[in-house]
């Protein structure tokens, strides 16, 4: 046992002198960790040259970056921390003359472990790296050709930290249904713990595993109407250890077979006023939400004005829109940062509802819909080659999505005819959602209502793009509206609440005014 441990840190020759063999050392260093693992890249030349092709184990498929641009990178998630001893790069003709290998524990902060200044293509077999991390990134800094960077295979070898792990994760707790339609049941539970790390959860329906998921939420679809189902979950780790099943819950689907549900949404909500003031709007928009009877409420940032202290949330927001807190999926706006400690009041008021996955951004499912809640405050252009952590997360989240319809919501709109106007900083978010064929994007920030036709990445009408709706009319004073965009379908400078009617394949939207009348209705859109 002592010699096996030493094999991780001692050179092969020295290990042999101590009584171990060179073969033992190579075995520990040469376990392939990267094949088939999640991978993202700074760019791709085309759909057939995706980043995943570099870790698919095939010598006839490849990843290629965009042509003519430095730097470019490709990053693989090994799934768990590992001691990395070797990286093998099989280059296509478009290779890197200069590049570096980096590792990271969190996928955001990387450290360099190997730099190559005079690469000559073909195959680079880099050994003796003595690195450790969950994520490995190859950063090309100088192209050898006029094209981009292209790899047949990126292979990472080493020893995962879970080797020899025999301890199962703790049993999941807090399993509950967060919503049910005629054809689906949404579930959530509290995270398990493990001595190395939880890799995911099995979802059991009536005692049979129906799905595995990395997170603590799951939406079970394709069910029968008016039928009871018994659910439990169990945790697992990468070593194959599995916990006992959680306490079970029984959920009954609703009658009918459309899989439909209704949502209420708005941003820029609670000014510092109460119902005793007849000009105070947020008590009136809260009554609209109550009348809509939504399955969930989406708040699109700037939930509380002006400085979003906890005391302000408790005095104003809590007494109106706070009635729907248990079914609210919030996001922060810029006013949530206006506190002695940015976000402090927002986090303390909403609690875990604001950060269900540990960050201000997260995702959740209902029916056949995948909802992505983003924090556009966190999205800024960076001078170096690292993309913002939130964008990295978004790409990974979209890649894992199995639902047929996608909706995203964040505060600062990419396009707006309002006082703030277009927001170029939101362009990478918008581009990523367009590329993923998202169906609906909700924003606030500008205090008016604006519904756009489906748009492409440049903001031009395009039926294959998402529908963008600005819903900043939840209660804060209205802003002036300027000339409409080419893709604007409707602008209304008035207060109200957005009502969204969703099925498993379609959606429609309505703006409900303070008098309860419908001020705008969209066509019925079919999910991409």
Better-scored residue on pLDDT, 20 or 270: 270
Better-scored residue on pLDDT, 59 or 197: 59
500: three-class secondary structure by DSSP: strand
128: three-class secondary structure by DSSP: strand
Per cent of the chain over pLDDT 90 is 72
Q: Which two tokens stand for residue 459?
A: 């903001």
| Lowest mean pLDDT across 121-130, 251-260, 356-365 | 251-260
pLDDT band at 268 (very low <50, low <70, confident <90, very high): very high
Nearest-angstrom CA–CA distance, 141 and 95? 11
What's the mean pLDDT in 342-346? 95
What's the mean pLDDT in 380-409? 81
Query: What does the longest C-alpha to C-alpha distance in the chain come to?
Result: 87
- Could you give phi then psi for residue 423, rounded to 5 degrees? -120, 95
pLDDT band at 381 (very low <50, low <70, confident <90, very high): low
Nearest-angstrom CA–CA distance, 167 and 240? 10
Residue 492 CB neighbours (<10 A) = 16
Q: Which two tokens stand for residue 278?
A: 């007849």
Q: Which two tokens stand for residue 59?
A: 């010598």
Q: Which pLDDT score, from 0 to 100, does residue 2 have?
A: 32
| Lowest mean pLDDT across 23-37, 93-107, 449-463 | 23-37
| Statement: residue 341 has pLDDT above 50 | yes
Q: Which two tokens stand for residue 329?
A: 């999926």
Nearest 5°: the CA angle 43, 48, 54 is: 65
Residue 452 CB neighbours (<10 A) = 27
Nearest-angstrom CA–CA distance, 453 and 461? 6
| Statement: residue 22 has pLDDT above 60 | no
Closest CA to 82 of 16, 18, 30: 30
pLDDT averaged over the chain?
A: 89
- The pTM of this model reads 0.57
pLDDT band at 11 (very low <50, low <70, confident <90, very high): very low
- Could you give phi then psi for residue 524, rounded to 5 degrees? -85, 120
The domains found in the chain, sorted by start residue, are 31-160 (2.60.120.260), 173-253 (2.60.40.10), 261-526 (3.60.21.10)
Q: Which pLDDT score, from 0 to 100, does residue 4 have?
A: 32
Q: Which pLDDT score, from 0 to 100, does residue 386 have?
A: 52
Residue 232 · residue 247 · CB < 8 Å = yes
What's the mean pLDDT in 192-215? 89
pLDDT digits (tens, 9 = 90+) for 360-379: 999 999 988 999 999 998 77
The residue count for the chain: 528
Better-scored residue on pLDDT, 211 or 513: 513
What's the mean pLDDT in 333-340? 93
pLDDT band at 387 (very low <50, low <70, confident <90, very high): low
pLDDT band at 239 (very low <50, low <70, confident <90, very high): confident
Residue position matching structure tokens 């199962």: 168
What's the mean pLDDT in 467-485? 94
Dihedral sign, Cα of residue 332, residue 337, residue 343, residue 348: negative
pLDDT digits (tens, 9 = 90+) for 133-162: 999 999 999 999 999 999 999 999 998 887
| Lowest mean pLDDT across 215-229, 258-272, 356-370, 430-444 | 215-229
CB-count burial class (<10 Å; 0-12, 13-18, 19+) for 440: buried
Q: Which pLDDT score, from 0 to 100, does residue 374 have?
A: 96
- 174 Ramachandran zone, left/alpha/beta (phi>0; psi -120 to 50): left
pLDDT band at 163 (very low <50, low <70, confident <90, very high): low
Residue 300 CB neighbours (<10 A) = 29
Q: Alpha-carbon Rg of the chain, whole angstroms? A: 26
Q: Which pLDDT score, from 0 to 100, does residue 9 have?
A: 35
| Statement: residue 21 has pLDDT above 70 | no
What's the mean pLDDT in 494-504? 94
């Amino acid at each position: 046992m002592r010699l096996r441990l030493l094999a991780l840190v001692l050179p092969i020759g020295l290990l042999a002198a101590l009584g171990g063999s060179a073969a033992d050392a190579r075995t520990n260093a040469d376990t392939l960790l990267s094949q088939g693992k999640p991978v993202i890249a700074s760019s791709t030349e085309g759909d057939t040259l995706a980043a995943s092709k570099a870790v698919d184990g095939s010598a006839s498929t490849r990843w290629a970056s965009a042509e003519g641009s430095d730097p470019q990178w490709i990053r693989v998630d090994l799934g768990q921390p590992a001691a990395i001893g070797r990286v093998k790069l099989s280059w296509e003709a478009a290779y890197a003359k200069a590049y570096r290998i980096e590792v990271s524990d969190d996928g955001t902060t990387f450290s360099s472990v190997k730099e190559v200044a005079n690469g000559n293509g073909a195959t680079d077999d880099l050994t003796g790296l003595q690195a450790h991390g969950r994520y490995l990134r190859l950063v090309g800094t100088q192209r050898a050709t006029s094209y981009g960077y292209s790899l047949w295979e990126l292979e990472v070898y080493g020893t995962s930290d879970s080797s020899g792990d025999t301890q199962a994760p703790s049993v999941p707790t807090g399993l509950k249904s967060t919503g049910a339609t005629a054809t689906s049941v949404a579930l959530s539970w509290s995270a398990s713990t493990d001595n190395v790390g939880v890799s995911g959860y099995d979802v059991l329906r009536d005692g049979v595993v129906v799905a595995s998921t990395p997170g603590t939420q799951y939406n079970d679809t394709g069910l029968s109407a008016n039928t009871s189902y018994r659910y439990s979950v169990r945790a697992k780790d990468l070593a194959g250890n599995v916990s006992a099943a959680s306490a079970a819950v029984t959920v009954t689907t609703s009658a009918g077979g459309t899989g439909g549900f209704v949502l209420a949404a708005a941003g820029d909500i609670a000014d510092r006023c109460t119902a005793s003031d007849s000009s105070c709007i947020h008590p009136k928009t809260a009554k609209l939400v109550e009348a809509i009877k939504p399955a969930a409420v989406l708040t699109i940032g700037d939930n509380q004005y002006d400085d979003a202290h906890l005391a302000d949330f408790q005095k104003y927001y809590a007494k109106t829109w706070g009635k729907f807190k248990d079914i609210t999926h919030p996001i922060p706006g810029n006013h949530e940062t206006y506190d002695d400690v940015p976000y402090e009041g927002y986090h303390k008021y909403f609690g875990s509802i604001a950060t269900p996955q540990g960050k201000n951004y997260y995702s959740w499912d209902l029916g056949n819909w995948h909802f992505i809640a983003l924090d556009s405050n966190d999205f800024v252009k960076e001078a170096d080659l690292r993309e913002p952590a939130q964008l990295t997360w978004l790409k990974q989240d979209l890649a894992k999505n199995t639902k047929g319809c996608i909706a995203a919501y964040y505060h600062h709109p990419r396009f707006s005819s309002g006082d703030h106007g277009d927001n170029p900083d939101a362009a990478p978010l918008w581009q990523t959602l367009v590329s993923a064929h998202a169906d609906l994007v909700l924003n606030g920030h500008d205090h008016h209502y604006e519904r756009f036709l489906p748009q492409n990445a440049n903001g031009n009408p395009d039926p294959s793009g998402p529908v963008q709706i600005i819903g900043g009319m939840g209660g804060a004073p209205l802003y002036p509206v300027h000339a409409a965009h080419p893709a604007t379908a409707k602008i209304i400078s008035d207060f109200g609440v957005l009502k969204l009617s969703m099925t498993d394949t379609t959606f429609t939207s309505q703006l409900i005014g303070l008098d309860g009348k419908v001020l705008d209705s969209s066509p019925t859109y079919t999910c991409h």
